[in-house]
A and B are shown apart, each in its own frame.
Chain A
Amino acid sequence: MNTIVTFIAFSDLTPRLIEQTERFAKILDAQVILAHLLPPEPFVMGMAGVVPMTSQEQRQKLIDADGERLMELADRLNREGLTAQAEQLVNADIDTALESCARWKADLIIVGSHHHNALYNAFVGSFREKLLKAAHCPVLVVPEIAVQ
């Protein structure tokens, strides 16, 4: 069976990503893995040394809420007759994302195209661009603007 891994960022683009995932899963007869990447939490340097910006409790709440949203999206695809699972990648980066694609033996990766400006890309870097550079299978990039 073919496998599609779709990276969800919970943005305005999510409905479009789900729509394209459903479409390609049907034509490729593929199972779907909806992945969400939760980067390591930010730390701050202060009087008390290096401390996390959020408490462990707050962090866990965020992880749980994200996990639920991801499950809801997977359920929606399952109701459409597809086979979808949710995978939350906690404290993850681009390498974790690629490992996940390799583990699932993805035939297709689906990501959104976020048009960040040059300054953002210079400092933060674009997840999509890193993925395109390192991916071993085709990557479908879904734009923000309306598809005709």
Chain B
Amino acid sequence: MNTIVTLVDYSDVTAKLIEQTERYAKALGSQVILVHVVSRDPMALVNEPASQIPSEEQRRELLAADFKHLSSLADLLTAVGVNVEVRQLVDADIGKALAESEHWNAELIIVGSHHHGVLYNWFVGSVTSDVIKAASGPVLVVPATPAK
């Protein structure tokens, strides 16, 4: 079966990502793997910037909440008849996400585009461009700005 791997990050582009994933999954007759990469950074799942580093137990709770969030996105696709699975990649990076898409022999990877400033891209780097540089197959980049 054809497979689409969609990398989600719960930003404001997520709704668009899910919408486009549905569109292409239906058009290609593909199953979908929704992937969320949780980095090794202990603050990865913490929303408030001034918070303290979470304890082991707090981190487990955050990961559980994150998984629930990912599953709720999958439910949106299931509800419209798309065959979907979720993968929460803990302590992972883009390399792991691409390995996952290789594993599924994905014919399409879908990512969101975030319009960060030059400084942000310089220091943090853009996930989108990392995916584009390393992917062996086509990558669909979904903009955060509204489609016309």
- A147 with B141, Cβ < 8 A, contacts A132-B128, A137-B147, A137-B148 known: no
Task: Determine if B142 is an interface residue (Cβ-Cβ < 8 Å).
Answer: yes
Task: Note all chain A residues with C-beta closer than 8 A to B115.
Answer: 133
Task: Determine if B105 is an interface residue (Cβ-Cβ < 8 Å).
Answer: yes
Q: In the complex the two chains form, is A138's CB within 8 Å of B141's CB?
A: yes
Q: In the complex the two chains form, is A143's CB within 8 Å of B136's CB?
A: yes
User: Which of chain B's residues 114-136 have a Cβ closer than 8 Å to chain A?
Assistant: 115, 128-129, 132-133, 135-136
Listed from nearest, the 10 A-B pairs whose CB atoms lie closest are A27-B27, A139-B141, A141-B139, A147-B137, A138-B142, A137-B147, A141-B132, A140-B140, A142-B138, A145-B136
CB within 8 Å of B: which residues of A?
20, 27-28, 102, 105, 107, 113, 115, 128-129, 132-133, 135-143, 145-148
Sample (27) of A-B pairs whose CB atoms are under 8 Å apart: A20-B138, A27-B27, A27-B28, A28-B27, A107-B147, A113-B132, A115-B133, A132-B128, A132-B141, A133-B113, A135-B141, A138-B140, A138-B147, A139-B140, A139-B141, A139-B143, A140-B138, A140-B140, A141-B140, A141-B141, A142-B138, A143-B135, A143-B136, A143-B139, A145-B136, A146-B136, A147-B138
CB within 8 Å of A: which residues of B?
20, 24, 27-28, 105, 107, 113, 115, 128-129, 132-133, 135-143, 145-148
